Each structure stands twice: as structure tokens, then as C-alpha cells.
């Protein structure tokens, strides 16, 4: 399925459903250089990839952040529930990005195995078994399609929580709405 990638270069580019809430504020802080407000408590949960090329521009104490390969929160659900129940957040920004390493994992099988052997001291058999047992769980397919499906899953799981699918372009370090 083809999804639109919508740039946010001015406040009116932010979809109405995200304006005047923590999702819109994140877009303003990151893309529009809004002056930081002071926060004592997080207002947002951000689920994003562990990729080191991404850095969000936002104030301290503004958000809980869960970093997981591909922005895959399926295996972090207790942490999501904690941020909602104990942390009292009512909004989730799920941020995928282009050039994600969790896409087409099978193409990196040898690199993965060799890396564990050379850098972690694993046997080749143990590294291969590790890859074969877990790669499919962490493969996300297409980045945008995955963020959209994960957004839909989270919306069904937490029906009172507003979940926004966002996309980070590594080349320009900007957030886009999906």
C-alpha cells in the first residue's frame, strides 16, 4: 500500500488531530525550532528505532522514549503500558525512518553471523542459530508499511491513546507525517 509522506515546514502543515497536543508539539520542536517549554513530567511516549543516525530536538522531560529496532514495540508492550498507566501519557508518536537496518534482514545474515563471531566471541553455529531463531521476529519489511501496521495495532490495543505514525528522513533529519 502506498502512503503519503507529508512534510512539516510550518505549523499549518501539522494535521489538525495533532495540533495543540504533544504530537504536534514534537513536530514543532523538532522541525520548526519552537522554543522549548519546561516540563516536569513526560507528555508523550515516543517509539523509535535504535538507529544512531536519529536524534530528536525536544525539551528535557517532554517524552518517554523506547528505542527498538525498526520502531517495533511488539516486544516492549509492558513498557508502553507502564508509560500510559504510571507515566500518564495519552499520546504515542511512532517514528520509523528510511534506510532501516531491520528491513531485509536476510541480506545481512552473513554480516550478522561474522560480526558475532569476530566481535562477541560466539561460535559460528551459535551465531547462525541465533540469527535463524530471531531474525523473522525482528524483520519489519517496508519501513512505512510497518509503522502504519504497528500504529494500527497500538490503536486497537490502547483505544483511548492517540497514536501518530511519523517518518524520519535520515538525509534531512526531519519528521514527516504519514
88 pLDDT band, cuts 50/70/90, is: very high
Q: Using the CB atoms, write b or e for 109-133: b if 16+ within 10 Å.
A: eeebbeebbeeeebeeeebbeebee
Q: Where are the alpha helices (DSSP H) in the chain?
A: 22-32, 77-85, 109-120, 124-138, 143-157
CA distance 175 to 24: 11
CA distance 101 to 69: 8
6-102+141-177 homologous superfamily: Carbonic anhydrase (3.40.1050.10)
The pTM of this model reads 0.94
Query: Taking the domains of the chain in order of start, what are their residue ranges?
Result: 6-102+141-177, 104-139
CA distance 165 to 38: 25
1 pLDDT band, cuts 50/70/90, is: low
Cell reading at 121: 566471541
Amino acid at each position: 500500500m502506498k502512503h503519503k509522506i507529508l512534510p512539516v515546514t510550518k505549523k499549518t502543515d501539522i494535521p489538525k488531530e495533532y495540533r495543540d497536543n504533544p504530537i504536534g508539539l514534537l513536530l514543532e520542536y523538532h522541525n520548526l525550532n519552537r522554543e522549548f517549554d519546561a516540563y516536569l513530567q513526560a507528555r508523550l511516549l515516543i517509539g523509535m528505532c535504535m538507529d544512531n543516525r536519529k536524534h530528536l530536538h525536544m525539551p528535557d522531560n517532554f517524552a518517554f522514549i523506547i528505542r527498538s529496532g525498526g520502531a517495533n514495540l511488539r516486544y516492549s508492550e509492558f513498557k508502553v503500558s507502564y508509560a500510559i498507566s504510571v507515566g500518564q501519557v495519552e499520546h504515542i508518536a511512532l517514528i520509523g525512518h528510511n534506510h532501516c537496518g531491520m528491513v531485509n534482514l536476510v541480506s545481512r545474515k552473513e554480516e550478522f553471523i561474522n560480526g558475532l563471531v569476530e566481535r562477541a566471541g560466539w561460535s559460528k553455529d551459535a551465531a547462525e542459530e541465533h540469527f535463524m531463531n530471531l531474525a523473522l521476529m525482528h524483520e519489519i519489511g517496508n519501513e512505512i508499511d510497518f509503522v502504519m501496521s504497528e500504529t494500527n495495532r497500538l490503536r486497537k490495543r490502547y483505544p483511548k491513546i492517540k497514536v501518530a505514525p511519523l517518518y524520519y528522513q535520515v538525509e534531512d533529519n526531519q519528521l514527516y507525517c504519514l
